[in-house]
Structure 1
Amino acid sequence: MAEYLSPGVYIEEIDAGPRPIAGVSTSTAGMAGVTVRGPYTGKPKLVTNFLEFQNTFGGFLREPDPLIRDTWANDPAEGGRWWLFPLAVKGFFDNGGQRLYIKRVASRQASPSSGVLGHGLVSPVARDAAKGATRLELGHLIGFSGVGQQIQLFRGDDQQSIHTAGVAAYDATARRIELDAPLPAEVRAGRGDYVQIGTRNAEETLEFAAVSPGSWGDGVQVRIQPMASAALPVLPDPQEGALFVTRLAADAAADSETVEVAAVTGLDPDELPPDVWVQIGSSRFKVQLSQPADGKVTLTLPSGTAHEAWRSGLLVRRVRRGTTSAGPTLRIGGASRLYEGAVVQLDDGTHLTIRTVESIAADVVTLDGNVPGTLFETDRLQLVEAQVDARFTDPSGAVETETHRNLRLTGDTAANLVTTLAVRSRLVRATALGALSTDPAKFPLPAVGSWLTLGGGDDAYGSLSVADFVGEDGGSGKRTGINALEDIDEVAVCAVPGMWSGTVESALVTHCELLRDRFAILDPQDGLDIEGVQAFRERFDTKYAALYHPWLVTRDLSVGRDAEVPPSGHMAGIYARVDVERGVHKAPANTVIRGIRLTDGIAQDITKRHQDVLNPKGINALRFFPGLGHRVWGARTLSSDSSWKYVNVRRLFLYLEESIEEGTQWVVFEPNDEALWSLVRQTVTNFLTTVWRSGALAGTTADEAFFVACDRTTMTEDDLANGRLICAIGVAPVFPAEFVIFRIQQKSRETQLA
């Protein structure tokens, strides 16, 4: 209750009455099955169309080896055709399904593809170069030492050597090098040609593995290379003094040792050091200043300096040094981007040098060695980190690629390579090994080429068992198989397509009976005759599942031929479609089956006489009617209790129970008195009234359709003393018109007299 302790105006929010109950979704499905690839651990993944399923879990499965196939397909008690799972998923979406949670099933003996990297340094060719060229554009120059360095150039396809040469000049910004000997053959970026520095070492630095088990990972390739994640400006030493910008006051001949510039503020020889660096055009020179005369200052270049002719008016600006004495410190703009242990590369124009950051204080960065050469304020310090590229080529030739930038090889941070791949990559995981180093010259590298191809993945289909489909309950996010569907509360329909194993289907039924918020669709064995499917049905008695017979015939696009598929995937899609179009109270029957062959889309012809035997036993028939197509012609559960013999009645009550449960959570721990009871009654009544108006409940009035009681008649003093609030609800469901009977009789003509 609000406190009023001082005079004033108080604004309060009060409850306006009963809280609305939102109906839960009934069209979300969950399935467990074998896929080509995809996440094996963690919670089931949501897919909303078949393309998304293919991108996440791969496409269609190939039929396994005959021995494995026959072991499963010829076992009437514990068998199944699990390799048809992707076709069932396609059937779900073909028939109107929109949301499907997939839990991948894999053998416990399955292993992921993997590969180990040694170390060395390569840089990919970024642009083609013709035979006889001396200029190469590379992917990076990180780890290069500069002028005079020897490089080897290799072809990317067969790893044959193309050329060995020295670096005559380089441009780190443009990632370009000049060779001291022309190329003897063309160089092609598209072929994967690359430059190698030094030799490769087999010491193990990183191990990459496919993100999930299976032979699919043998199509994964990984490349790791150094990258400049930041280029930070060098700040001038405070002792360097002021900056000046002027222009040539007169033309200067080529290679002349003196030039005249206009005197400007800051250009005072008495206040500047004896040696000043200036930039004229695109070149940098160390000059000496002479006293101004007639508003001009003379700049004397070092003897023997070569340069082109300069015209009057050319811009001349002072370039201040970053350091005036040897030492390990340097002032850097944006130093906050750096961190202790960061690897940086410095460029003094002729040499590239690697250093490691030891400490940072404001903009002063201390390195693990003296700053090399002379650095100027126009220079940049490059922060060196790693980039991982991964690509996967599936059997159809489609390529999936991903790139992860700005990664740290070591350190316990979110930007660490191992940590980042574990969170973001859909293809690979990494493990750091003993020889891993942050030195760019010892970057992780495969024994051959620049891409590491993973290998050794095994689906281990020979050891796949029904236990893998049932799964284990390791707790939230750690469950496998059917048990993992418990992690997704939204699932209302579930199936394990293609599996007729008694152990698997019993586990699926038990799963639904324990959670009491979902309904199972079971598959019979393929090829069963009428007696066989009746015998198969005898093992079940549950109001939480339905059985459909026979199997369907669809086109398997992966092999270009027709294939018989289990009906559960198509039926789950039909459940979802009917729920959206009509409502959960509508029986999912007398509905066209989509995504199957237009003629002979049902594997066996079921006649009315056949169904006269099947229907009373709760076996729902899939039939063909001329002019009406292939239709679902049954809506019964597998329950012996006649109160729950219809699928739509059972699912309607699941919908009502789950909606009321989730919509009345606010009631818990409220004062258990008449005011609360009234709110509960009104809340549930409002919800059921909406349900009744949608046509889900029988009755011409709301009073005929349902009742809600929550008062002294439903609770005793003992209930109240033990914290129990009891609300009694009764609803009258609408039963399907399963048998439509028209009674026709002859009628005698009656003569009417005028």
Structure 2
Amino acid sequence: MNVTEVDGRASPALAAAPTSVGAFVGRTRRGVPDQAVRVSSLDQFTARFGGHHADGYLPHAVTGFFLNGGREAYVVRVAGAGSQAARATLNDRQGTPAASLRVSAGYRGVADPGVWAHALRLDVRDDPRAVTTVGAAATAAATTVQLASLAGVEVGTVLRIASTTTLLRVVTAVDRATRTVTLGAATGEAVAAGVAVSSAEFRLVVRQQDPATGAFPVVETWSNLSMQAGSADYVSDRLNHPVTGSRYVTVADLSSAAPGVDLPAVVSGVALTGGSETAAGAGDLVGDAAAHTGLHALDTAAVQLLAVPDAHLLPAVGEALVVRGALDYVAGRGDCVYVGSAPDRGHPAGTVPRSAADYTETVAHYTQAVKEYAAQFQGAKVYGALYAPWVQVADPAGVGPAPVRFVPPEGHVMGVYARTEQERGIHKAPAGDAAAVRGALSLAAAFSAGEHDDLVRNGRTNGLLSPGGRTPVVAGSRTLSTDTRWQYVNVRLLFNFVKSSLRDGLRFVRQEPHTEALRRMVRFNVITPFLLGLWQQGAFGSDPAEQVFTVKCDAENNPPADVDLGLFRVEVYFYPVRPAETVHLIVGQQPGGGTAAEA
């Protein structure tokens, strides 16, 4: 009996694309530059990028994202040209020591620049994989030696034979039946039975200082390392492996000494020094498309929300270049939204605002400044939104019993985007009473109702408000678009979602026979059920489905000339639901129900 499995006549279901994967580009304490790294929790971010630091806003943005409902993000560290990884050189065991091994700060074989690695310490210990004895006496001319045990002995192993002098010989062959090893050179002296034999491997211990206690707990231990390039335990291959290598250091073999004495000498507490980080400029943050640096490190990552909070560390001209670069980047992708913020409210130079009293600019003047800032980024169709003011949050890198500081709100707002999508759907505007900003203790400016209305309608910037002193909420959902068709954040997010879902879900169409049957299947069996699901969720309003979306894929928009060229055209149109942004109440008097009668 032969059984053949076929796909049958069922059409592939159109899977929903991801909707709220965040992307953060900027400065971190550590991390391989220009590499998009996926993290799904704050703990993962801290382990890979080192947590909070005083010189940037990105860690606060990532914290706010996960705190407010974000579940997945990509982080790209950006460092300026000339940044260096800290390093240390370990010497060998010759009478006149020479460089044996250079240890540099890194991750899985790639350099990790900055001063963060100055907190690392290295210990080297002997750590033989094989410990045995000579099983039978050997002459000075012998090139083979019988051992009591071959456990841990392989071709390429360097043996340390404790005879009259310490002999160091490389194993070139192993005969396990007779427990005999062939050496790369004769013993050079008679070796008695029972002489101790061990293999020449070492252990490298990496310790990192705990800033809270000052202690140096062990973070990694690498056992049975060899300096032999052909060995399975070769130090460079093990520590620099791209998947299983060290999360803290990379190594380079500098030795030219003979096997055995090329091992790093036993030492303790060797510090890595010389690390540096040049502050990233506007060009570093925007990056290069060909080299996939900066923003372009995200080219292959499926992200829908983008923030570059460290743009606020740059002068005004550089900050504008980064924001413009980010808006151009997401527009070019067509599946992502830039979430940014206006600059902080004015305060004395050199001051890090930690309370509202540290600000000297009036709220009215700040409102006007925000409008002027936002105006330079507005356009008919802009894939981005701005928010103001900054939010006060806990500052793990600060000093004192309960340090706080004000930071840009974009990470927190992106978390609100994700939470709103999870609770209500991608079509719901990420604003309103349910859009509470978790982790925000207070706001840098308290906009009045009139100031906020002016900010939203004329500045196209969304305000964060704290009505009655309660937890701040996102109170606006406008994009920077001047075209009213694209002025709401939820409309942009919904269109991005539908486009991405259709793009990914219709890949199966390629190379299928272009027939009317294929067009009907795509129209009725794939796209229409997907749109009906969105309509049932309320994404297209409450009118009948046939009035709020249209799918066209037939002979009319696929004429023979296009079919001959291999083109397959599908047109999808839908009405996106808009938020009720302004509530207009009319309250008046009406005549009473009583009547007067003449007595």
User: Are the structure 2 counterparts of residues 427 and 457 from structure 1 closer, same or farther at C-alpha, using a change threshold of 3 Å?
Assistant: same
Residues 334 and 665 of structure 1: CA distance in aligned 2, closer, same or farther (over 3 Å): farther
Q: 1:283-362 to 2 correspondence within 5 Å?
A: 322=136, 327-331=142-146, 338-346=153-161, 353-361=167-175
State the alpha-carbon separation in 2 of the partners of residues 333 and 692 from structure 1. 78
Counterpart of 2:339, as a letter, is I
Q: 1:325 to 1:720 in 2, by over 3 A?
A: same
Using the size of structure 1 for normalisation, the TM-score is: 0.68
1:700 CA drift (Å): 4.2
1:112 is aligned to: 85
CA 1:506–1:436 in structure 2 vs 1: closer, same or farther (change >3 Å)?
Answer: farther
CA distance in 2, matches of 1:347, 1:325: 15
Asked whether 1:365 is paired with 2:181, we answer yes
How many Å apart are 1:20 and its aligned residue? 0.9
Give the RMSD, CA atoms, in angstroms: 2.8
Structure 1 position 508, deviation (Å)? 0.7
Classify 1:551/1:400 alpha carbon distance in 2 versus 1 (closer, same or farther; 3 Å).
Answer: farther
After superposition, the Cα gap between the structure-2 partners of 1:752 and 1:337, relative to the gap in structure 1 and judged at 3 Å, is farther
1:97 aligns with 2:70: yes
Instruction: State the SS of the aligned residue for 1:487.
Output: coil
Shift of the 324–493 alpha-carbon distance from structure 1 to 2, 3 Å rule, reads: closer
Q: Give CA-to-partner distance per residue, 1:241-270, whole Å, 9 cap, x none.
A: xxxxxxxxxxxxxxxxxxxxxxxxxxxxxx
Q: Which residue of 1 aligns with 2:387?
A: 548
Q: 1:12 to 1:450 in 2, by over 3 A?
A: closer
Per-residue CA deviations over 1:65-118 (Å, capped at 9, x if unaligned) read xxxxxxxxxxxxxxxxxx232222222222222222111111212111112222
The question of whether the paired residues in 2 share the 8 Å contact of 1:353 and 1:372 is answered with no
Quick one: distance in 2 between partners of 1:508 and 1:708?
Answer: 32
User: Which of residues 440, 453, 457 is equivalent to 1:596?
Assistant: 440
Mapped pair 1:678 → 2:520: yes
Residues 1:630 and 1:514: Cα distance change in structure 2 (over 3 Å): same
**Cα distance, 1:200–1:588 mapped onto 2, change above 3 Å:** farther
Question: How far does the alpha carbon of each residue in 1:43-81 deviate from its partner, in whole angstroms, 9 at most, with x for none?
Answer: 311222223322221232235xxxxxxxxxxxxxxxxxx
- State the distance in 1 between where 2:553 and 2:565 align: 16
1:418 is matched with which residue? 236
Q: Which residue of 2 aligns with 1:392?
A: 208
Distance of aligned partners of 1:670 and 1:740 in 2 relative to their CA distance in 1, 3 Å threshold: same
Amino acid corresponding to residue 344 of structure 1 in structure 2:
L
Give the letter for the 1:395 counterpart.
Answer: P
Distance 1:341 1:359 in 2: 8
**Deviation by residue 1:163-183 (Cα, 9 ceiling, x = unmatched):** xxxxxxxxxxxxxxxxxxxxx
CA drift of 1:738 comes to 1.0
Paired residues of 2:139 and 2:191 also in contact (CA < 8 A): no
Give the distance between the partners of 1:355 and 1:452, measured in 2 at CA.
29
| Alignment-derived partner of residue 29 in structure 1 | 22
Going from structure 1 to structure 2, the CA distance change for 1:671 and 1:336 (only over 3 Å counts) comes to farther
For residue 615 of structure 1, what is the aligned residue in structure 2?
A: 456
- Using the alignment, how far apart are the partners of 1:689 and 1:746 within structure 2? 44
Match of 2:372 among 535, 538, 556: 535
Instruction: Answer whether contact 1:111 1:458 (CA < 8 A) is retained.
Output: yes
What does 1:342-741 align with in structure 2 at a 5 Å threshold? 342-346=157-161, 353-361=167-175, 363=177, 364-367=180-183, 368-370=185-187, 373-375=191-193, 382-396=198-212, 397=214, 399=217, 401-411=219-229, 415-423=233-241, 424-439=245-260, 441-445=261-265, 449-461=267-279, 464-475=280-291, 479-489=292-302, 491-500=303-312, 501-527=319-345, 529-540=366-377, 541=379, 542-559=381-398, 560=400, 561-590=403-432, 591-597=435-441, 601-617=442-458, 618-626=460-468, 628-681=470-523, 682-741=525-584
1:260-317 deviation line (CA, Å, top 9, x unaligned): xxxxxxxxxxxxxxxxxxxxxxxxxxxxxxxxxxxxxxxxxxxxxxxxxxxxxxxxxx
Is residue 38 from structure 1 mapped to residue 31 from structure 2 by the alignment? yes
1:352/1:629 Cα in 2 relative to 1: closer, same or farther (>3 Å)? same
In structure 2, relative to structure 1, the CA distance for the partners of 1:352 and 1:647 (3 Å cut) is same
Shift of the alpha carbon at 1:401?
A: 1.1
The SS at the match of 1:459 is coil
Q: What secondary structure is seen at the aligned counterpart in 2 of 1:546?
A: strand
Secondary structure in 1 matching 2:309: coil
Conserved? CA contact 1:204–1:436, under 8 Å: no
Is contact 1:218–1:457 with CA below 8 Å preserved after alignment?
A: yes
What one-letter code is carried by the residue in structure 1 that aligns with 2:16?
A: G
The alpha-carbon deviation at position 627 of structure 1 amounts to 6.7
What SS class does the counterpart of residue 127 from structure 2 fall into? strand
Deviation per residue, 1:691-714 (Å, 9 max, x gap): 222222223433233222211122
Q: Indicate conservation of the 8 Å contact 1:715/1:725, yes or no.
A: yes
Structure 2 CA distance for aligned equivalents of residues 408 and 724 of structure 1: 59
In structure 2, C-alpha distance between the alignment counterparts of 1:200 and 1:220, rounded to whole Å: 28
Alignment-derived partner of residue 201 in structure 1? 96
The aligned runs of 1:237-252 (5 Å cut-off) are none
- Taking only the aligned residue pairs, the percentage that are identical comes to 29
TM-aligned CA distance change 1:525 to 1:10, over 3 Å: closer
Question: 2:335 aligns to what SS in structure 1?
Answer: coil
Q: Are 1:215 and 2:32 counterparts?
A: no
Matched residues in 1 for 2:558 and 2:232: separation? 55
Distance change (3 Å), C-alpha of 1:324 and 1:209: closer
Distance 1:400 1:227 in 2: 17
Alpha-carbon separation, structure 1, partners of 2:445 and 2:113:
37
Deviation at 1:605, TM superposition (A): 1.0
Give the superposition deviation at 1:517. 1.0
The question of 1:20 aligning with 2:13 is answered: yes
Please state how far the C-alpha of 1:200 moved relative to its aligned partner.
Answer: 6.1
Q: Any idea what the Cα deviations from partners look like across 1:10-40, whole Å, max 9, x if unmatched?
A: 5342323110111122121010111111222
Q: Quick check: 642-651 or 670-679, which moved more?
A: 670-679
1:347/1:118 Cα in 2 relative to 1: closer, same or farther (>3 Å)? Answer: closer
The verdict on how the C-alpha distance between 1:644 and 1:409 changes in structure 2, with shifts beyond 3 A counting, is same
Please, what TM-score do these two structures have when normalized by structure 2?
0.84
Q: Which moved more, 1:364-373 or 1:602-611?
A: 364-373
Shift of 1:338: 4.1
- Cα deviation for residue 206 of structure 1 reads 1.5
CA drift of 1:436 comes to 4.8
Amino acid in structure 2 at the alignment position of 1:606 = F
In structure 2, what is the equivalent of residue 143 of structure 1?
Answer: none
Structure-2 separation of matches of 1:659 and 1:380 = 68
- Describe the shift of the 1:624–1:12 C-alpha distance in structure 2 as closer, same or farther (beyond 3 A): closer
Shift of 1:469: 1.3
Larger radius of gyration: 1
Contact 1:347–1:375 (8 Å) recurs in 2: no
Return structure 1 stretches of 4+ with deviation > 6 angstroms.
Answer: none
Aligned residue identity for 1:54: T
Which one-letter code corresponds to 1:215 in the other structure? V
Letter in 1 for 2:157: A
Task: Please tell me whether the aligned partners of residues 409 and 437 of structure 1 are also in contact (alpha carbons under 8 angstroms).
Answer: no
Residue pair 1:113, 1:454 contacting (<8 A) in 2 also: yes
Q: How far off its partner does 1:547 sit?
A: 0.4
Q: Deviations over 1:518-560 (max 9, x none)?
A: 1111121111611111110111124310000111112223224
AA partner of residue 374 (structure 2): R
Q: Unaligned 5+ residue runs, structure 2?
A: 107-111, 313-318, 347-365
Give the letter aligned to residue 366 of structure 1: T
Q: Larger strand proportion, structure 1 or 2?
A: 1
Question: Structure 1 unaligned runs (5+)?
Answer: 1-7, 64-82, 121-198, 235-320
CA distance in 1, matches of 2:196, 2:536: 72
Is the 8 Å Cα contact of residues 498 and 565 (structure 1) preserved in structure 2?
Answer: no
